[in-house]
Structure 1
Amino acid sequence: MLDKKITVMMPAYNEERDLPGLLSRIQLALDGWADYRILVVDDGSRDRTAQIVRDAAAQMPVELVQHPRNMGLGAAMRTGLKAAAQESDVVITLDADNSQDPELIKSMVERLETGFDVVIASRFQPGAQEIGVPPFRIFLSHLSSAGIRTLIRYPGVRDYTCGFRAYRAETLRNLIDMFGDNFIRENGFSCMFELLLNLRALHARASEVPLILRYDLKEGASKMRILPTMWRYLITLIRGLLLPVSWRVASERKRRGYDKKS
């Protein structure tokens, strides 16, 4: 796999407590088998997140992109994925809170090489665990996931919201070419769900590997506001049910060259 260029992209907002340990874990997990770089998108942090990345660059291949103000997870994902997809064969995304194990990256990349376009570290595959997650959060995530699976039915996908994923970079480039900056419109946590819906419109092939989620290793506070996030999931779901229509419109505009003229 040394011939594959891998970019590990992490959006980060006020992650000074968790980021140093996570960067070290990524380096240990990838050194020796991967041609990789780490790209951290600092979304207007008010702590030492950016300085931690600058300091780490002396010991590992890590780069920093900064937003001048906090713009939300979706904006950080847009910035990071557009930058990562252009210079990579594989793009890995994971949370910057140290709750997801980078050792899983190798098996995710191996799964991509069997013909998939996106591989998700899933909380809903046999062998998965959620350690240290509050019971109410577990209940809500399982309930919402079951509802989404009933309505959307993306083959190979059970976990629509986890941010730990491996993407074939060519697939991301096709997605961005098709949708432009609208490949992610949501700025909150629902952007991860939206991204999968748009990949589904491209008929991207998806698979999952089991995730052991370790909230007990997470030192920083959670940034998710549950009720607003659930509301945005609902909005995104409704939009996703209408997506085939909007995708055909976008395809027709592209075929006729309207987007180039505007």
Structure 2
Amino acid sequence: MLPAYNEAEALPALLNEIEFAFDEAQIPYEVIVVDDGSSDDTALLASQASFHMPVQCITHVQNQGLAGALRTGVAAALAATKPGDVIVTMDADNTQPPGSVERMIQMIREGHDVVIASRYQHGSQIVGVPGYRNFLSFGARALFTVMFPIRGVRDYTCGFRAYRHEILRRADEYYGDQLVSEKGFSCMVDMLLKLHRFKPVVGEVPFILRYDQKGGASKMRVLKTVFQTIHVLIRRRLNLR
């Protein structure tokens, strides 16, 4: 599932990589692209890709932010899957390699409920990310490890994840629309902390973050995201729903 906002520059290359990776691994799949009110050709390109690969494009008339796109995508993915299936979320900017998904799915088959593509596992590499972003990510990892440790998790903020259908279904039935409630990029952290209620088995795989392949400028407002993430952490640490 791909939340996408003005990703016309990156989306075609990413969809081609997804098609190649899944066909090579012989894994049946469907791509759900949530076009979050883009002003470019994101929706058009996603629709064109559906002629040669299984792509469903859902379009928001107005931009709702990452949380809104993720909420729509999760609902669509749960409706399209069944127990035993795997739901994968990843960025639409072509910075996260679809080739890692096969290993993530294998770990789900081996007994994990959630698998995170982690920047902090041995074998991972980060290419092209500004130094200050690396510093903030490392600081976030240290803070979460101390204040809200989750077994098997080092990378709390990366949205490149694989979920067993059943764990997302349980969370969706419990939280409803509030499963993805935080605004901005902090919604990925909040979703992981909410899933912790259900005692999932969580694991990580290394991956190569290719920021040098990113299409267009970053949409993350760094300082705002930092404050939102800290706020989420404090609320969850105090067991506030």
TM-score class, shorter-chain normalisation, is over 0.9
Structure 1, 82-91 or 17-26: larger mean CA deviation: 82-91
Question: Counterparts of 1:62 and 1:239 in 2: how far apart (Å)?
Answer: 37
The answer for the alignment partner of 1:252 in structure 2 is none
State the one-letter code of the partner of 1:39: I
SS across alignment from 1:195: helix
Question: Counterparts of 2:58 and 2:235 in 1: how far apart (Å)?
Answer: 30
SS across alignment from 1:11: strand
Q: Which has the higher contact order (CA 8 A, sep 6+)?
A: 2
1:118-173 Cα shifts (integer Å, max 9, x gaps): 00000011111110000111011101111111110100000001011000011101
> Could you say what the CA RMSD is over the residues aligned between the two structures, in angstroms?
0.9
In structure 1, runs of 5+ residues without a counterpart are 1-8, 247-262
2:35 is the alignment partner of 1:35: no
Q: Output the TM-score relative to the length of structure 2.
A: 0.96
The answer for the alignment partner of 2:219 in structure 1 is 223
Q: Output the TM-score relative to the length of structure 1.
A: 0.89
The answer for the alignment partner of 2:58 in structure 1 is 65
Question: Counterparts of 2:55 and 2:70 in 1: how far apart (Å)?
Answer: 17
- Shift in Å at residue 217 of structure 1? 0.9
Question: Counterparts of 1:196 and 1:66 in 2: how far apart (Å)?
Answer: 25
Map 1:75-114 → 2, pairs under 5 A: 75-88=68-81, 89-114=85-110
The answer for the alignment partner of 1:140 in structure 2 is 136
Contact 1:132 1:215 in 2 (8 A): yes
The answer for the alignment partner of 2:15 in structure 1 is 23
The answer for the alignment partner of 1:260 in structure 2 is none
**Bigger-Rg structure (1/2):** 1
Contact 1:86 1:169 in 2 (8 A): no
In structure 2, runs of 5+ residues without a counterpart are none
Structure 1, 83-92 or 58-67: larger mean CA deviation: 83-92
Spell out structure 1 runs of 4+ moving beyond 2 A.
none
SS across alignment from 2:87: strand
State the one-letter code of the partner of 2:34: V
Question: Counterparts of 1:86 and 1:62 in 2: how far apart (Å)?
Answer: 15
The answer for the alignment partner of 1:186 in structure 2 is 182
Q: Matched residue pairs, number?
A: 237
The answer for the alignment partner of 2:173 in structure 1 is 177
Alignment identity in percent? 48
